[in-house]
């Protein structure tokens, strides 16, 4: 109701309408406000002069807009009436509602009459403040305009709904809150005033007292004053003139004012126009609903813009940081080369200094020795050594020959760094292409009439909204794990229908879908709750593998008929591959997190359930010494120490069986097989910590090991070509091992629960190959069925 308030306010005074009148242009004005904006026109423009000249055809003559320049083209805020010698130029004003109105050219004469009865200046003109259409009043003045009783009633109801608690109408000073209302007296009373002024005796005892709220309602429902004819004030409206589009009384018809017009009953036209207004409101309501949805979309866009801005800024910072890191690495490399050149130069110069120093010391010693020899006075002794000394002096002098006293290395660095191409590239660094601004798709609508469940399968269908103009490149369907956990993607593609098999029986799943295109992703649809079948013993729910494709009559399409690989995106995305043939329908799953509690893919056989899953070893979590081959199905090791490798798929429910064949077995090593947590130690034998449950075996015997505790030594080992079977029964919480299709020892471990991954530990003397998607051994199936 608050949004309607502007419709109930006068464009002149800005307050709620008081005695509103209807102008011929269908707009409303307070009667007092209409009188305030009257303008007197020249005599030549009066209706009487027009009738006298034969040009008048209506009681209300609109002025020629060419003669009345209300606003200039520049819209300066001032308007004037042109062509009138007696009409002064009057500046326009603005009402509280922001609508321009024209004050009267002269103040109205003082009068003690009501605005409706006060005389109107002759040749008065009134201009609608909303559409700016002007008309000249006739002799009736403002009384010639019909009163809008409907608008008065709407205002009364609105003000009553906005009013505070109803007050007593008989309290003299501060009115107290009313406690009752008398329907006959139409008065609200508080308790003291009711006892004083309305005692329950005499004639007042028959009056009906009701609570104030009920009295307010009865007031609203009480008949209002019937609208009377503007020409005949004592007559009520009884008919409706279709040409004039106004209600009339029977006296107007008798006078012949509407003799040639089509006249209909007032009640019939009232119902017809109400119906037309209701139909028009339906269309307007649809537009308003679309506008609200559009506002929600815009607010979502604001959030998406903020998120995209943060993401883009982070990406830009990362790219710039990568450039800076690359530059720093190159800087370090160049500095290393400079340091290398520096060390080389110093080494050459220092070697030359050392060599010259030694040679100079020898030369100086020879010179000093020769000088001392020259001082001797013994001729015969001198001549005995003089020839040898002369030869040594000449030889030493020759050693100081050309080039000896020349530096072997210059002090300048013969390196020059050309950074101009890099600087130019930095200056030219810019966004290659600005992504075109296009809207994201609209939110898809789930088609409930086409969504259904059958046994442990669910079929979902969706579509784009009818008024959507943005194309979607594809859709993303998400399901939770059946236990109220997180949503995970199960389908991405262009199709609008998808069947998901292998859900849990007697489980409740939540599904939702969103659309995407190159710009972004739409908001999620409403969440749909799906309940799978409760009865797991019926023949229709028995889906052993292989299963003929004709056994699935509810499969309207196969959205996974082509490989849908979402694994590389982020943990938790799935890979499904439904392969249809005349003989077999297989479900491949390498989803790690969808096998978390409550989200295994099961088939039912009588009362015994088994999960048939295909998986491989996981290079991402394995020890770095593990060597993979054969599409990650075959592993060995490069180290003599034991190293651990896990499977890609984790299990938390159901019965699972897989086998490993020994491809190579040298020097009698002790490989270990079993299950482990995701955080098991990878650099020691499986079972040495508390994160793994394993059987390790050599060529003669085997042991079970958990937390470095060895139990149940069992005779019988392995050789090349042997087969190790691992049976994880999470329904009974047991782990059992097989060697060459025979159970190895008793049940290895009991009370195992949680999330487990297939695991193997081996060294370079062993190579094994994994085989998955296998049925449980027959004797165990029959034993489990009996149990």
User: 142-156, 369-383, 550-564, 623-637 — which is least confidently predicted?
Assistant: 550-564
Q: Cis link prior to 546 (omega < 30° from 0)? A: yes
Q: Which pLDDT does position 595 carry in this prediction?
A: 37
Q: Which residue has the higher pLDDT, 512 or 244?
A: 512
Question: Residue 645: what pLDDT?
Answer: 96
Question: Residue 639: its pLDDT value, please?
Answer: 92
Q: Is the pLDDT of residue 94 over 60?
A: no
Q: What angle do CA 780, 782, 787 make, to 5 degrees?
A: 90
Classify residue 233 by burial, with Cβ atoms within 10 Å: 0-12, 13-18, 19+: exposed
Q: Residue 477: in which H helix or E strand, if any?
A: strand 474-479
Q: Are 400 and 363 in contact (CB under 8 A)?
A: yes
- The 10 Å Cβ neighbour count of residue 758 is 26
- The pLDDT value given to residue 568: 29
The pLDDT value recorded for residue 476 is 94
Q: Compute the CA torsion angle 778, 780, 782, 784 (nearest 10 deg).
A: -150
Other CB atoms within 10 Å distance of the CB of residue 393: 14
pLDDT at 217: 56
Which residues touch 321 (CB under 8 Å, ≥6 apart)?
A: none
Out of 80-84, 273-277, 619-623, 663-667, least confident range:
80-84
At 633, the pLDDT band (50, 70, 90 cuts) reads very high
The mean pLDDT of 177-198, rounded to a whole number, is 89
Q: How far apart are CA 380 and CA 385, in angstroms?
A: 9
Strongest mean pLDDT among 95-99, 171-175, 636-640: 636-640
Predicted local distance difference test score (pLDDT) of residue 765:
94
Taking only the tens place, the pLDDT of each residue in 376-407 is 888 888 888 989 999 999 998 888 877 788 88
What does the pLDDT read at residue 286?
A: 87
- What pLDDT, on a 0 to 100 scale, did the predictor assign at position 550? 30
| DSSP run (H or E) holding 134 | strand 134-136
Q: Which of 289-303, 545-559, 656-670, 682-696 has the lowest mean pLDDT?
A: 545-559
Residue 665: how many CB atoms within 10 A of its CB?
21
Q: pLDDT over 90 for what percent of the chain?
A: 32
Under the banding of pLDDT at 50, 70 and 90, the label for residue 105 is very low
Q: Is residue 655 within 8 Å of residue 609, measured between CB atoms?
A: yes
pLDDT at 38 over 50: yes
Whether the CB-CB separation of 386 and 378 falls below 8 Å is answered with no
Q: What's the average model confidence in pLDDT over 298-324?
A: 91
**Mean pLDDT highest for which of 64-68, 364-368, 602-606?**
364-368
509 forms beta bridges with: 530
pLDDT at position 63 over 50: no
pTM assigned to the model:
0.32
Query: What average pLDDT does the segment 668-678 reach?
Result: 94
Cα separations (Å) of 373 from 96, 368, 379, 381?
Answer: 128, 9, 11, 10
Rounded to 5 degrees, φ, ψ at 625 are -85, -10
Q: What is the pLDDT confidence band of residue 71, given thresholds at 50, 70 and 90?
A: very low
Per-residue tokens: 127 = 């201009």
Work out the angle at residue 647's Cα, subtended by the Cα atoms of residues 646 and 650, and round it to the nearest 5 degrees. 105
Residue 167 confidence (pLDDT): 82
- Mean local confidence (pLDDT), 345-359: 91
Look at residues 554, 369, 542, 347 and name the one whose alpha carbon lies nearest to residue 461.
554
- In this predicted structure, what is the pLDDT of residue 347? 93
Compute the half-sphere exposure of residue 530: CA atoms within 13 Å on the CB side of its CA. 34
Q: What is the pLDDT of residues 684-738, one digit of tens each?
A: 999 999 999 999 999 999 999 999 999 999 999 999 999 999 999 988 999 999 9
Both tokens assigned to 148: 């809008």
Higher pLDDT, 324 or 94: 324
Which of 672, 674, 671, 677 minimizes the C-alpha distance to 690? 677
Q: What is the pLDDT of residue 215?
A: 67
pLDDT of residue 253: 83
Q: How are beta strands 20-22 and 187-189 bridged, if at all?
A: unpaired
**pLDDT of res. 150:** 84
- Once rounded to an integer, what is the mean pLDDT over residues 609-630? 83
**Which helix H or strand E contains 187, and what residues bound it?**
strand 187-189
Angle between helices 149-162 and 212-221 (to 10 degrees): 170
Tell me if 364 sits within 8 A of 356, measured CB to CB.
no
Which burial class, exposed, middle or buried, applies to 112 when counting CB atoms under 10 A from its CB (0-12, 13-18, 19+)?
Answer: exposed
Q: What is the mean pLDDT of the chain?
A: 77
For 474-517, write each residue's pLDDT tens digit. Answer: 999 999 988 878 898 989 999 999 988 878 878 888 999 999 99
pLDDT-derived band at 786, boundaries 50, 70, 90: low
pLDDT exceeds cutoff 60 at 635: yes
- Determine the pLDDT at residue 14: 84
Rounded-to-integer distance, Cα 159 and Cα 166, Å: 12
Evaluate the omega torsion of the peptide bond into residue 601 and state whether it is cis, within 30 degrees of 0: no
Secondary structure of 410-435 in the HEC alphabet?
Answer: CCCCCCCCCCHHHHHHHHCCCCCCCC
How does pLDDT run across 571-595, given as a tens digit for each residue?
333 333 333 333 222 223 333 333 3
* Residue 186: pLDDT over 90: no
Region 651-670: mean pLDDT is 90
- For residue 155, report the phi and psi dihedrals to the nearest 5 degrees: -65, -40
d(CA 83, CA 103) in angstroms, rounded, equals: 18
């Amino acid at each position: 109701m608050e949004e309607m308030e502007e419709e109930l306010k006068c464009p002149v005074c800005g307050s709620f309408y008081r005695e509103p009148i209807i102008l011929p242009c269908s707009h409303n004005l307070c009667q007092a406000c209409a009188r305030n904006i009257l303008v007197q026109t020249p005599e030549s423009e009066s209706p009487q002069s027009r009738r006298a000249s034969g040009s008048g055809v209506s009681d209300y003559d609109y002025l020629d807009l060419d003669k009345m320049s209300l606003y200039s083209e520049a819209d300066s805020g001032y308007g004037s009436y042109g062509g009138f010698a007696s009409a002064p130029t009057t500046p326009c004003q603005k009402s509280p509602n922001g609508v321009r109105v024209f004050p009267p050219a002269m103040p109205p004469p003082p009068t003690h009459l009501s605005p409706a009865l006060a005389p109107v200046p002759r040749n008065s003109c009134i201009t609608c403040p909303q559409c700016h259409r002007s008309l000249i009043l006739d002799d009736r003045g403002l009384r010639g305009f019909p009163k809008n009783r409907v608008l008065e009633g709407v205002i009364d109801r609105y003000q009553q709904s906005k009013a505070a608690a109803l007050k007593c109408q008989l309290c003299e000073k501060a009115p107290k809150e009313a406690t009752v209302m008398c329907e006959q007296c139409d008065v609200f009373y508080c308790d003291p005033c009711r006892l004083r002024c309305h005692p329950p005796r005499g004639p007042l005892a028959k009056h009906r007292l009701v609570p104030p709220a009920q009295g307010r309602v009865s007031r609203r429902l009480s008949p209002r004053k019937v609208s009377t004819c503007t020409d005949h004030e004592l007559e009520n409206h009884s008919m409706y003139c279709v040409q004039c589009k106004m209600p009339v009384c029977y006296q107007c018809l008798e006078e012949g004012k509407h003799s040639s017009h089509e006249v209909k009953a007032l009640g019939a036209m009232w119902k017809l126009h109400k119906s037309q207004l209701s139909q028009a409101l339906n269309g307007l309501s649809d537009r308003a609903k679309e506008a609200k949805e559009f506002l929600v979309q815009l607010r979502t866009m604001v959030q998406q813009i903020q998120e995209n801005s943060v993401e883009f800024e982070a990406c830009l910072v990362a790219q710039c940081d990568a450039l800076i890191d690359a530059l720093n690495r190159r800087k370090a490399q160049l500095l290393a080369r400079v340091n290398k050149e520096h060390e080389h130069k110093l080494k050459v110069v220092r070697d030359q200094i050392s060599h010259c120093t030694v040679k100079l010391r020898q030369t100086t010693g020879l010179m000093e020795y020769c000088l001392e020899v020259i001082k001797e006075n013994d001729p015969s002794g001198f001549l005995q050594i003089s020839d040898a000394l002369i030869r040594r002096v000449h030889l030493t002098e020759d050693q100081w020959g050309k080039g000896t006293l020349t530096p072997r290395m210059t002090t300048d660095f013969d390196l020059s760094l050309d950074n101009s191409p890099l600087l130019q590239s930095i200056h030219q660094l810019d966004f290659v292409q600005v992504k075109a601004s296009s809207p994201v798709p609209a939110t898809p609508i789930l088609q409930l009439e086409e969504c259904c469940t059958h046994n442990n399968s669910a079929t979902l269908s969706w579509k784009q909204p009818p008024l959507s103009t943005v194309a979607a490149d594809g859709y993303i369907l998400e399901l939770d794990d059946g236990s109220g956990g997180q949503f995970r993607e199960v389908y991405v593609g262009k199709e609008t229908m998808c069947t998901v098999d292998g859900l849990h029986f007697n489980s409740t799943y939540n599904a939702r879908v969103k659309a995407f295109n190159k710009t972004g992703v739409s908001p999620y649809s409403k969440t749909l709750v799906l309940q799978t079948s409760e009865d797991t013993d019926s023949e229709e729910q028995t889906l052993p593998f292989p299963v003929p494709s004709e056994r699935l009559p509810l499969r309207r399409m196969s959205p996974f008929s082509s490989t849908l690989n979402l694994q590389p995106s982020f943990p938790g995305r799935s890979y499904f591959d439904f392969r249809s043939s005349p003989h077999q329908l297989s479900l491949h799953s390498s989803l790690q997190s969808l096998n978390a509690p409550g989200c295994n893919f099961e088939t039912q056989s009588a009362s015994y359930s088994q999960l048939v899953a295909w998986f491989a070893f996981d290079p991402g979590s394995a020890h770095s010494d593990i060597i993979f081959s054969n599409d990650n199905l075959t592993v060995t090791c490069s180290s003599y120490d034991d190293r651990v490798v896990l499977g890609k798929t984790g299990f938390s429910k159901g019965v699972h069986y897989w086998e490993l064949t020994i491809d190579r077995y040298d020097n009698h090593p002790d490989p270990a097989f079993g299950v482990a947590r995701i955080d098991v130690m990878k650099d020691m034998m499986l079972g040495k910590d508390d994160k793994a449950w394993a059987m390790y075996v050599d060529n003669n015997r085997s042991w079970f090991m958990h937390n470095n505790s060895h139990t149940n030594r069992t005779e019988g080992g392995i050789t090349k070509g042997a087969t190790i079977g691992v049976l994880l029964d999470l329904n009974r919480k047991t782990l059992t091992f097989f060697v060459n299709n025979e159970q190895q020892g008793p049940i290895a471990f009991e009370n195992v629960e949680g999330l487990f991954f297939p695991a193997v530990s081996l060294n370079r003397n062993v190579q094994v190959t994994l085989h998955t998607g296998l049925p449980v051994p027959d004797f165990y199936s029959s034993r489990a069925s009996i149990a």
